[in-house]
Amino acid sequence: MAQYTRAGSARPQSGGWELAIWYLMRLTGLGLFVLALAHYIIVHFVYDPAMQNADWISARWANAAWRTADWLMLSFVVFHAFMGVRTVVQDYTKGTTRMVLTMLLYLGAFLIFAMGTIGLVTFPSAIPVKP
Amino acid sequence: MLFRYRGSEGMLAWAFHRISGVAIWAFILLHVFDIWLANVNAKLYDDLLTLYASAGGRVVESLLGAALLYHALNGLRIVIMDFWPSMTRYHKQLWYANWVLFAVIGLPILVQIMAPAFGLQPPFRLGG
């Protein structure tokens, strides 16, 4: 297999974490091709945003399969989006700036993943949820 | 950058991938926050959603959808070339195929999302 392609980032030669991340970017990307596009089509094409509210989410998440699929999408998207921005940061910065921004990205990824997971797991499935 | 450098399809594909990717990342921050908000304050979340359903909100959603669809299709193009290197010979053709798919998939979705902003019924009656 060729070592370089014209697209995306070149496959890391060093192996280890960077190579694992390179493969995971492609794997999560393929996963999101299905999950994220399906999600967008469901909430914007099949159902109009005008008919959606917290109750609507509640009804959807009464089914554990939707919660599981959405949590899988959350995991993929947090990895893919933050590692993607990490590539951008590493392309345009160096030294301390690069290190600080990369650490901020890891922290942000953790926070967003935690917020999303808490939201997904604790969201009440009973209707109605409004006070 | 896009016009100063004499790049052709390959560079534009890369630049659009990067721009759409960063835009989607920014939306993800907002979107995870709003779902978290739905948990904490359902009423506030419902108010936020009326903003999503407004005419301006629909324009932003369409732009988000365009970024998502481009990034997904071009991402597939990247994966194809990474794991099937002889396809890099046809990287321009693959990019044009992306745009054909982008238009064919994107236009019906655009019409469906924007119709209510013009006081029209969405053409496809699916979710009721």
Indicate which CATH number applies to the domain containing B91: 1.20.1300.10
Residue A1 lies in a domain: no
Rounded average pLDDT over B20-30? 97
- Non-local CB neighbours of A55 within 8 Å, separated by 6+ positions: A127, A128, A129, A130
Q: How far is A38 from chain B (nearest CA, A)?
A: 11
Count of domains observed in chain A = 1
Q: How far is B3 from chain A (nearest CA, A)?
A: 19
pLDDT at A2: 43
Indicate which CATH number applies to the domain containing A39: 1.20.1300
- Non-local CB neighbours of B27 within 8 Å, separated by 6+ positions: B64
Residue B124 lies in a domain: no
**Would you call B109 and A41 a contact, using CB atoms and an 8 Å cutoff?**
yes
Range of the domain at A112: 16-122
Nearest to B43 among A11, A47, A131 (CB): A131
Residue A82 lies in a domain: yes
Nearest to A6 among B72, B88, B112 (CB): B88
How high is the ipTM of this complex?
A: 0.92
Residue A51 has, within 13 A of its CA and on its CB side, a CA count of 15
Residue A131 lies in a domain: no
Range of the domain at B85: 9-116
Count of domains observed in chain B = 1
Residue B121 lies in a domain: no
Q: How confident is the model at residue A107 (pLDDT cuts 50, 70, 90)?
A: very high
Residue B4 lies in a domain: no
Does the pLDDT of residue A50 top 80, yes or no?
A: yes
- Mean pLDDT (chain A) is 89
Residue B2 lies in a domain: no
> Pick from A75, A80, A100, A81: which is nearest to A90 by CA?
A100
**Would you call B35 and A119 a contact, using CB atoms and an 8 Å cutoff?**
yes
